[in-house]
Structure 1
């Protein structure tokens, strides 16, 4: 398999000077009735003119001679090449590609919607032109394929797989690095350099989004309740210990149980507490 060959063509400015001299001699020949000189120099003038090429910054020219690859020019400026060469222009600028939002299944089988943003540029002009049919279509199809593989490699979050160390929705750096490696491997044969690759959009599919939101909310409520109960138990323990240390009042087991019950209700309740006046004894 051939690889890219970088060539340095002839200086175009010098060729342009020779072109002007040739043009002047042709005009001189016609004006001085020396037609033979003009006829001889005219094909040279045409070849010199046809061989001039201009390459803008971050652009390149791929050179072919009767279907055979001769090399690539990545310099910018005015150059002269063999006028028999066929040239193909190729941009070397960095370009963005945002994939379509596609529905795929994550590692746990949940349908999700995902898209990626890819920053890429042509690195090997030979591979981009001759190894694939259309490198831009190749990038689009291979990126979609890499996204599908990535989504199936990780769960969406920790709710489905609590033992997972990397998830799509939390470990963005790790996921983006995995995506970049996968896309780079796929696009290497097309001579494409992946500058950056990251997830642009990520969400549950509409048919399960509401259920997953309710599940997350329920988990958050349970976690919050756990913290509230844990704090309330600590406060009750501190209150009983403080009363006992200062000997303010002595409680038997029944009164301790009643106090603990009342404090837990007050501290863990959602609504505001409403005082109740006891008009009887403490035992009532």
Structure 2
């Protein structure tokens, strides 16, 4: 069973730890190790018999104890968090940067880092076979949870819009881990979880809207004309899906939007035809207005009296001149030469 995208029902409340300074404990540990070594050396010299042996045993025990305490020293960098467990139970989360000392039996818990480490190892092995070199990703260093702002570049995918047209759409998600405890306990791998949810929401959103509309209806939302509004809806839906994973969605942007190759040419012709029709409508509307104005001016100024037949001929000629694609070639009637 794949648990990558399944939210665990157990809800763990985050408990922020404020541990003691690691520098102080480092000095105490070093002093303790030196004292235990000194005790092991001088006990046989100062005491005889069982007392000397007891001093050596105490020195060895102290040496082992202070060596174990070195495991409790933890370094947390800025914009990082350390989620700790103690014998299988949640112990707390360190969210402040610094050098700290915690219970030496606490272990850092972050299954996502382990999965990323395995992927990096596989990539490194394949690269070595091909004679290439691979640099280790910063995401795989240790089991700390990065709370930095990160970017997920969602791959371009082919979906059908509301009209059934195949569309290629791509997006980018800007996000960060807001709750490290939820991120490591509620999902197996929050990187994969976010990527899968992003794919699902983009597909569902693209299916609800047309790529573009050929009607003069500004109220209808389209993928091309209302990309900002649709991206905001994607952000809200994605935030709702990833809230239980401790992820905060900062922004969603549509980076690529185009018709699929199989219908791109046909849709281009359709858009050109629609644009031509709209332009012709405006030209005809303007030409009719100009003809009407010309006839009104001629009648108002009594420049020429036209019967219905000549008005029809003039209207026809003016419409041909005004609506034609090419410039009109005037013909002047100069009368008969003979």
Q: Report the TM-score, using the length of structure 1 for normalisation.
A: 0.91
CA distance in 1, matches of 2:88, 2:23: 28
* More displaced 10-residue stretch of structure 1: 253-262 or 11-20: 11-20
Tell me the equivalent position of 1:49. 70
Indicate if the aligned counterparts of 1:158 and 1:164 stay in contact, CA closer than 8 A. Answer: no
1:190 matched residue in structure 2: 245
Structure 2 counterpart SS, 1:46: helix
Of residues 122, 136, 145, the one that matches 1:90 is 145
Which residue of structure 1 lines up, in the alignment, with residue 257 of structure 2?
202
Structure 1 unaligned runs (5+)? none
For residues 154 and 160 of structure 1, the distance between their equivalents in structure 2, rounded to whole angstroms, comes to 14
CA contact (8 A) 2:152 2:173 kept: yes
Aligned to 2:119: none
Q: RMSD value over aligned CA atoms? A: 2.1
Worse-matched range after superposition: 200-209 or 18-27: 18-27
Q: How far apart, CA to CA, are the structure 1 residues paired with 2:210 and 2:156?
A: 18
SS of corresponding position for 1:197: strand
Q: Please point out which of 95, 117, 130 is paired with 1:74.
A: 95
Q: Of residues 25, 44, 69 in structure 2, which corresponds to 1:15?
A: 25
Partner of 1:141: 196
Q: Aligned pairs, how many?
A: 281
In the TM superposition, residue 230 of structure 1 has moved relative to its aligned partner by 1.0
1:27-66 to structure 2, matched below 5 A, reads: 28-29=38-39, 32=42, 36=56, 38-66=59-87
- Which residue is equivalent to 1:239? 294
Listed one character per residue, the Cα deviations across residues 40-98 of structure 1 (whole Å, up to 9, x for unaligned) are 53134213321111000011111011111111111111000100011131111111111
Q: Deviations over 1:91-120 (max 9, x none)?
A: 111111111111111112111111111111
Please give the per-residue CA displacement for 1:212-263, whole angstroms capped at 9, x wherever unaligned: 1111110100010111111111111221222222222221221111111111
Deviations 1:103-147 (A, max 9, x none): 111112111111111111112222211211211111111111111
Q: What is the TM-score when the length of structure 2 is the normalising length?
A: 0.78
Shift of residue 32 of structure 1?
4.8
CA contact (8 A) 1:128 1:192 kept: yes
State whether residues 122 and 192 of structure 1, in contact with CA within 8 Å, keep that contact through their aligned partners in structure 2.
yes
Q: Does 1:272 align with 2:327?
A: yes
Equivalences for residues 150-169 of structure 1 within 5 A: 150-159=205-214, 162=217, 165-169=220-224
Q: CA deviation at 1:27?
A: 5.3
Alignment partner of 1:4 is 2:14: yes
Mapping 1:111-122, distance limit 5 Å: 111-122=166-177
Query: Using a 3 Å threshold, how does the CA distance of structure 1 residues 161 and 101 change in structure 2: closer, same or farther?
Result: farther
Contact 1:108–1:160 (CA under 8 A) maintained in structure 2:
no
Unaligned runs of 5+ in 2: 1-10, 45-54, 110-143
Q: Distance between the aligned counterparts of 2:195 and 2:216, measured in 1?
A: 31
